[in-house]
Amino acid sequence: MSVIEAKSLTLSYGQKPVFSGLDLSVPPGKITVLIGSNGCGKSTLLRSLARLLKPQEGSILLDGTEMAKLSSKEIARRLAILPQGPVAPEGLTVHQLVKQGRYPYQSWLQQWSKEDERMVNNALEVTDMDGLANRPVDSLSGGQRQRAWIAMTLAQNTPAILLDEPTTYLDMTHQIEVLDLLFDLNEQENRTVVMVLHDINLACRYAHQIVAVKDGQIYAQGAPETIMNEQLIRSVFDMECQVTYDPIFGTPLCIPYGKGRKIAKAAVAAF
C-alpha cells in the first residue's frame, strides 16, 4: 500500500485550476522527486499531499485513510513537511527549533518527556547539528540552517517526509550535503521522502521514482533510468538536450544544448 495516494485530485488557486482528475501513488520507503517547469504546480501538489491545500474534488489518502478524516495532530505524527524557505523567529536557537517537532505529541495529559528529549537529541546528532544546538538559527549558514529545519522534521519521527526545494539557494557542497542526508535517512531508517527538485541530474541521482508534471497532469512517472530521455525534457521543459549516463553513478545525465565555449576533443582528453 502507498504511504500517500491522490485519487481524482482537482486543485485550484482562486478560479484557476492547477490539476484536474490527477492520480498519484507514492511508494513507501522510497525517494520520490517531483520535477517540472516553473509554475507547473509541483509545490501546489506537494502542499496538497500534506493537507496544506484543500482539494476541490478527489481525495488524498495517508496509509489508506482519507486525510480529511484525520486530525491535524494525527497527520503530524505520520507525515512531516518542510516548505520552501522557512523562516524562524529572530533569536530562536537550533535546539528550540528542533523541539517544535515534538509538539504533535504534547497534550494536557502528556507533557515534555524523556522520549521527547531523546528524539530531539537524536535528530540533532543525525543532522550533525548537536554542536550548534545553542546557536540562533538566523546566525547559521544556508546549509546549516537547512539541516536545522530537517532536524526539526526528524524530531517529529514520521515515516514520511515532504520537502519543497530543499536545495534552493545552496551552493553545490551544501546541496549534496542535504541530499546525502535525506538519502541516508531513506536507506538507514526506511523513511519515505517526497521532494521537489529543480536540478534534473540530482533528481535522477537520488530518486527511486521521478514524477514529471506538465499542464496539470503527470506526464511521466517511474524510475529515472526508465523515463528520462530527450523527448521528456523537450515536452516538459521545452528544452533540447542530450541524455547520457553519469560516469560515476550510471544514472541519467541531462546535457542541455545552448550557447557556450566549445573546447577541442584533444583538449578535453588532456584533463
Q: Which three cell numbers stand for residue 41?
A: 504546480
More confident residue, 229 or 112: 229
**8 A C-beta contact, residue 219 and residue 232:** yes
Q: Are 29 and 23 in contact (CB under 8 A)?
A: no
Distance from chain centroid for Cα 246: 22
Strand 31-35 relative to strand 241-245: parallel, antiparallel, unpaired?
unpaired
pLDDT at residue 271, as a whole number: 64
CATH of 4-78+158-269, one of 3.40.50.2300, 1.10.10.10, 3.40.50.300, 3.10.450.50: 3.40.50.300
State the average pLDDT over residues 207-220. Answer: 94
CA–CA distances in Å: residue 223 to residues 163, 211, 237: 19, 9, 19
Percent of the chain with pLDDT over 90: 59
- What is the pLDDT at residue 173? 87
Domain borders along the chain are 4-78+158-269, 89-157
Residue 167: what pLDDT?
87
Residue 2: predicted pLDDT: 55
Cα–Cα dist 84/87, whole Å:
9
Directed axis angle between helix 142-155 and helix 172-189, to 10°?
20
Buried/exposed code over 23-62 (b: 16+ C-beta within 10 A; e: otherwise): ebbbeeebbbbbbbbeebbbbbbbbbbbbebebeebebbb
Going by pLDDT thresholds of 50, 70 and 90, the confidence category of residue 1 is: very low
**What is the pLDDT at residue 37?**
93
Q: Provide the 3-class DSSP secondary structure of residue 111.
A: coil
Nearest to 45 by CA among 206, 225, 219, 190: 219
CA-to-CA distance for 189 and 171, rounded, in angstroms?
27
**How would you list the strands of the sheet with 16-26, edge to edge?**
16-26, 4-13, 57-62, 65-66
Report the relative pairing of strands 65-66 and 16-26 from DSSP bridges: unpaired
129 has pLDDT over 70: yes
> What average pLDDT does this structure show over 124-141?
92
Helix (H, G, I), strand (E, B) or coil at 24: strand
CB-hemisphere CA count at 13 Å for 119? 21
Q: What is the pLDDT of residue 40?
A: 86
Distance CA 140, CA 123 (A): 17
CA 118 – CA 136 distance, rounded (Å)? 21
What average pLDDT does range 149-174 have in this prediction?
89
Span 49-65, mean pLDDT? Answer: 89
pLDDT at 149: 92
Range of weakest confidence among 9-23, 134-148, 205-219, 222-236: 9-23
